[in-house]
A = this chain, B = another copy of it.
Amino acid sequence: MGRWEPDARGRLAAAAMELYVERGFDQTTVAQIAERAGLTERTFFRHYADKREVLFAGTGEFQSIFLDAIAAAPAGASPMDAVAAALTAAGQMFAGLRDGARVRQGVIDAHPELRERELIKMATLATSIAEALRARGVVEPAASLAAEAGVAVFRVAFERWLVEDAEPSLARVLDDMLAELRTVTAA
C-alpha cells in the first residue's frame, strides 16, 4: 500500500487487455485484473475509474493531437487542410501500435456498450474539431462539415489499417482515404 509500483498503470492495462481477450469484457472483474498485474484493487482504482476506462484512457490524448494540430496549422490553411494536418498527426501517434489497436478493437467490437462508447468518442471528436476550426475563424457550416468529413476519413482509414495484410502506416492510409473522399465528393 502506498509503495511505488513501477509502471502500475501500464501493467494494469496489459493485464486488463489479456483478460478481456481470454474471458471477455463482461466476465472480467477488477479483482482479476489487479491480481494478474500483481497489484491491488486499490491500486487499480488509483489509475482507472472502472474496467471500461482502461479501454478509453487514451481518449483525451487522442483528441488533443487533433486539436493541437488544427490550432498549429498555418494561418492561410483551408479548413480541410487544417483537418488533413490533424489526421497526419493522429496517424503518426499510432505508429507501431497496430497490434495493440487490433486487440482493443476486437474487444470493443464484441461488446455493444463499448461500441456505443466508441461512437460517442468519435462524435465528441467531430464536435471538438468543429470548435477548433471556428476558433481559427472558419464559419459554419464549413467548420462542422470539414470536421465531420475528417472524422469520417479517420473512421474508414482506421478500420482499413487494422485489417490490411501489409502494414502501411496509418498516416499513409489516412492520406489515401482523404484523397478518395475528395474524389468521391467531387461534383
Contacts and interface: CB of A to CB of B under 8 A. Distances in A.
A80 interface: yes
A140 B155 CA distance: 13
Given A144-B156, A156-B144, A181 B149 contact: yes
Interface string A124-152: 00000000000000001110111011001
A180 interface: yes
Contacts of A180: 141-142, 145
Interface string A114-126: 0010011001000
A145 to B, nearest CB: 5
Nearest to A152: B148
A111 interface: no
A184 B152 contact: no
A145 B187 contact: no
Contacts of A80: 184-185
Interface of A: 78-80, 116, 119-120, 123, 140-142, 144-146, 148-149, 152-153, 155-156, 160, 177, 180-187
Given A116-B120, A141-B160, A142-B183, 13 more contacts: A78-B184, A79-B184, A80-B184, A116-B116, A140-B160, A141-B180, A145-B153, A145-B156, A145-B177, A145-B181, A148-B152, A149-B181, A182-B186
